[in-house]
Amino acid sequence: MTDFVFVPSPQPAVPVVGGGLFPVRRIFCVGKNYADHVKEMGGDPKNVPPVFFTKPADAVHTGGQFNFPLATDNLHYEGEMVVALKSGGTHIPEAEATGHIFGYAAGCDLTRRDLQAAAKEKGGPWDTAKALDDGAAVGPITPVADVGVLDKGSISLSVNGETRQQSDLSLMIWSLPEIIARLSGLFALKAGDLIYTGTPEGVGPLVVGDTCRIEVAGLAPLDFQVFERKG
C-alpha cells in the first residue's frame, strides 16, 4: 500500500508465550463483574447487568516502564484476566463461546478514578477515565492449548510486593461464555479482540515509583513500574 498520506501507526501487539505476537484489533472491557468490587464502588451486586466499555487498541501496554498518565491525581489499578480471541462473529451462543478463545493473559485496566467519578456524577461517558494512553496493560498471552479453559483459579495484584487484590476467577458474576455471547450481540467480534473481564475488590491508587504485578494462576505475570511522565 503506497497510498497512505503518512506512515501508519504500528500495529499494537502482545507477545505470546512460546513465540509470536498477537495483533490487537479492539479492546472490550467488562465493569462490575465481581460482587465485592461492585460493593466497594457503592453499587448493588444483586442488580448488575454487565457494563461494557472499550479502550483503543493502541492503549495496549505490555509491561515495563509505565508513564504516569496525563490529567489525573488518582490513577487506579484494576487487576483483571484478559481473554484474547482467535475468531469471532455475531450472536455467538454461550455453548460455542470458548471455541473462539486464542488464549489468556494477566492484565491491568488502568483507570483515572477522579475522571470516572466526575463522569458518574454527571451521567457522562467513561472515555476520559478508561481510554487513557497506555491504559490497557497486558502480560504475555498463554494459548488456551497450553492452559485449558480458565473458569477458576487465583487472581491477584500486588503493589511494591504487597498484596492488594486477591480473588478467584470463579467469583465472576458473568462467566466468560456469558460475556462473549452478550458482547457479540452488541459488536461483531473478530480475531485480535481482547476482553478485560473485570476486577475483584481491593482497587486502589498507583503513584510514581510503584511497581505493580498481576498474577493469574497458570499464566505469565504482568509487571510494570510507574515513572514520572516527561512531556
Residues lying near Mn ion in the complex (CB under 5 A)? 78, 109, 199
Instruction: Pick between residue 116 and residue 158 the one whose CB is nearest to Mn ion.
Output: 116
For residue 201, the minimal CB distance to Mn ion (Å) is 12
Instruction: Pick between residue 16 and residue 80 the one whose CB is nearest to Mn ion.
Output: 80
For residue 198, the minimal CB distance to Mn ion (Å) is 6
For residue 183, the minimal CB distance to Mn ion (Å) is 15
Rounded-to-integer distance, Cα 186 and Cα 174, Å: 16
Instruction: Pick between residue 21 and residue 186 the one whose CB is nearest to Mn ion.
Output: 186
The identity of residue 6, as a single letter, is F
Output the CA torsion 153→159→162→167 (10° steps): -20
Instruction: Pick between residue 62 and residue 199 the one whose CB is nearest to Mn ion.
Output: 199
For residue 53, the minimal CB distance to Mn ion (Å) is 8
**Residue number with the shortest CB distance to Mn ion?**
109
Output the CA torsion 189→77→132→175 (10° steps): 10
For residue 8, the minimal CB distance to Mn ion (Å) is 29
Cα–Cα distances (Å) from 50 to 104, 105, 215, in that order, read: 20, 21, 24
Instruction: Pick between residue 17 and residue 51 the one whose CB is nearest to Mn ion.
Output: 51
Helix ranges (H only) for the chain are 35-40, 94-97, 113-122, 127-130, 144-147, 176-186
Using CB atoms within 10 Å of the CB of residue 125, give its burial: 0 to 12 exposed, 13 to 18 middle, 19+ buried. exposed
For residue 157, the minimal CB distance to Mn ion (Å) is 12
Cα–Cα distances (Å) from 183 to 30, 50, 95, 210, in that order, read: 9, 10, 14, 34
Instruction: Pick between residue 78 and residue 193 the one whose CB is nearest to Mn ion.
Output: 78
Rounded-to-integer distance, Cα 214 and Cα 223, Å: 7
